[in-house]
Structure 1
Amino acid sequence: MRFSRGVLTIAAIVVVLAVGVSVGLYYLLRTTPHLAEAPAFCNVRTPDDAVSLNPEQAQIAATIAAVAARRKLPERAVVIAYATALQESKLRNLDWGDRDSVGVFQQRESQGWGTQKQLMDPVYATNKFFAALVKVKNYRKLPLAEAAQAVQRSAGGYAYAAHERDAKVLAAGFTGRVPQAVHCWYPPPTATPSPKPRTEEARKQLARALGSTAITSPKRGWLVAAWSVAHAEKYGLSKVRYAGAAWSNRQEATGWRTTKDDAGTGQVELS
């Protein structure tokens, strides 16, 4: 088969352009590696299963667990709260919803939950949810959807049950019952020099939800560690250490690693 000189010329131009674009992209990605990086993510992995979250979802999940710990509530209460939040907002702090519903639990000012500004605060909203939940008789033994519906009085209360498995995974990790369960990654800052981590601000915000940040048991230590990893992007944290294990903000990392340079303070160390 013969091709005209014009066709061959066009084919040659296409090949040259393709090679040029490929080479250009290669050098662009080498000189600006952040363009090839994945978006920030979080994973919660337990022996039973794994759940993927974005950083906002992870921060809200960590906050719910911290508020529950402050109120000395059982893990079942946390599971119910997670299933409710997953159904109502997908664990996001929404400033919109059905009628005047807002926030992670889609609570309504017109129903006496609080002002819209208050309900947009996940710590406040979670406290209001738990305050209502503990008034539900035998809530720990009720089917999850029934307990959640007693609080929310939703039009489709049966839907909460669909989230029970994911809620159990999240509760096991964020309450600290399963150590090293929460892992997150976010694109590191490109500014030079890198901004300093805001560790004191992180601790103050943790105290809003948890109360005392003292580590009184390994489980509480892992709760604080999980909260810190979930909030790492927000406060510029690149390392969290606790109980001989360390999390670091490395894209290729799959979780926590054992470290030999643990200071042995019994506290969660942030940097």
Structure 2
Amino acid sequence: MRFSRGVITIAIIVIVLAVAISVGLYHLLKRTPQLAERHAYCVVNTPGGVRNLDPEQAQISATIAAVAARRRLPERAVVIAYATAIQESKLYNVNFGDRDSVGVFQQRPSQGWGKKKQLMDPVYATKKFFAALVKVKNYRKIPLAEAAQAVQRSAGGYAYAAHENEAEILAAAFTGRVPQAVHCWYPSGKTSAPKSRTAVARKQLARALGSTAITTKRRGWLVAAWSVAHAEKYALNRVGYNGATWVNDFERDGWQTGGQASARRVDLS
């Protein structure tokens, strides 16, 4: 069977186009997962487990741990706070809720927790939560749900218990007990944060933590975790502490050992 030159030409063009489209689709699909990963996210990695967070959840978690450290509260208090916040708001600072409930702990202005504007400040809301928690008799030893319910007086207080394991993972990381446990990434340029932004970050840390002096390695890792969690918010590209460095680079797996990072200071840039 013979084909005309025109038919053969059309067939060749169709084949070439098909190959070109196939190659293009292959490379597009190959790149798609990488493109999908280029959004801000955080990972908490401890011997107790791994937890994925978005930046707001990480920032709320870091703030709760810092306020607890300022009050010199035990890690158990932080675990109770996390379990409560996960149940109430999934660790988001929401401006709505049941009736007049707002904020990360869904506290109600009508119940004497404070004004709505105050309760939308995670530092203030956390202080109020801990102020109530420490008044609960034997809160360190009683079941978590019982301690949380004594503070919240929720209609379904039993639900807090379901989040205890997750809360323990977060507490181990953000209190600084487990070093290098908080990892965050966000899309950014290669330039370092201006000194003014670094100063703002330290000022906001002080609101929650009080003195930012590093008196123990655990406190140093708490500050480092807070800084990494707030990296996107304050345009931080590097955090260094105690011989380890976190760099905002999607191609790097979180903290890297080495460098000149001191044990007496958390370096930000």
Q: Same fold (TM over 0.5)?
A: yes
**Counterpart-to-counterpart distance in 2, 1:143 and 1:237:** 39
- Residues 1:14 and 1:99: Cα distance change in structure 2 (over 3 Å): farther
What do residues 64-106 of structure 1 show as CA deviations (whole Å, max 9, x unaligned)?
Answer: 0000000111100000000000000000000111111110000
- Residues 1:194 and 1:65: Cα distance change in structure 2 (over 3 Å): closer
Q: What residue number does 1:77 align with? A: 77
Q: How far is 1:18 from its partner?
A: 2.9
Q: What residue number does 1:196 align with? A: 194
Q: What residue number does 1:144 align with? A: 144
**Counterpart-to-counterpart distance in 2, 1:188 and 1:40:** 10
Q: What residue number does 2:227 align with? A: 228
What do residues 195-230 of structure 1 show as CA deviations (whole Å, max 9, x unaligned)?
Answer: 536110000000000000000011100000000000
Q: How far is 1:39 from its partner?
A: 1.6
Where 1:42 maps in the other structure, the secondary structure is strand
What do residues 137-194 of structure 1 show as CA deviations (whole Å, max 9, x unaligned)?
Answer: 111111000000000000110000000001001001100111111111111138xx66
Instruction: Name the aligned partner's letter for residue 57 of structure 2.
Output: Q
Aligned sequence identity (%): 69
Q: How far is 1:36 from its partner?
A: 5.3
Where 1:79 maps in the other structure, the secondary structure is helix
Q: How far is 1:13 from its partner?
A: 9.3
Where 1:234 maps in the other structure, the secondary structure is coil
**Counterpart-to-counterpart distance in 2, 1:116 and 1:78:** 23
Q: What residue number does 2:262 align with? A: 264
Q: How far is 1:252 from its partner?
A: 2.5
Are 2:151 and 1:131 equivalent residues in the alignment? no
Root-mean-square deviation (Å): 2.7
Are 2:166 and 1:163 equivalent residues in the alignment? no
- Residues 1:93 and 1:10: Cα distance change in structure 2 (over 3 Å): farther
Count of residue pairs the alignment pairs up: 259
Gaps of 5+ in 2: 1-6
Taking structure 2 as the reference length, the TM-score comes to 0.88
Instruction: Name the aligned partner's letter for residue 146 of structure 1.
Output: E
- Residues 1:225 and 1:178: Cα distance change in structure 2 (over 3 Å): same
Q: How far is 1:263 from its partner?
A: 4.8
**Counterpart-to-counterpart distance in 1, 2:52 and 2:261:** 31
Gaps of 5+ in 1: none
Where 1:235 maps in the other structure, the secondary structure is coil
Where 2:232 maps in the other structure, the secondary structure is helix
Are 2:25 and 1:22 equivalent residues in the alignment? yes
Q: What residue number does 2:88 align with? A: 88
Instruction: Name the aligned partner's letter for residue 268 of structure 1.
Output: V
- Structure 1 runs of 4+ aligned residues shifted over 4 Å read 8-14, 23-26, 34-37
Instruction: Name the aligned partner's letter for residue 227 of structure 2.
Output: S
**Counterpart-to-counterpart distance in 1, 2:255 and 2:26:** 37
Answer whether contact 1:179 1:222 (CA < 8 A) is retained: yes
- Residues 1:194 and 1:263: Cα distance change in structure 2 (over 3 Å): closer
What do residues 27-64 of structure 1 show as CA deviations (whole Å, max 9, x unaligned)?
Answer: xx79xxx9554321111111121111110000000000
Are 2:121 and 1:121 equivalent residues in the alignment? yes
Instruction: Name the aligned partner's letter for residue 164 of structure 2.
Output: E
Are 2:220 and 1:217 equivalent residues in the alignment? no
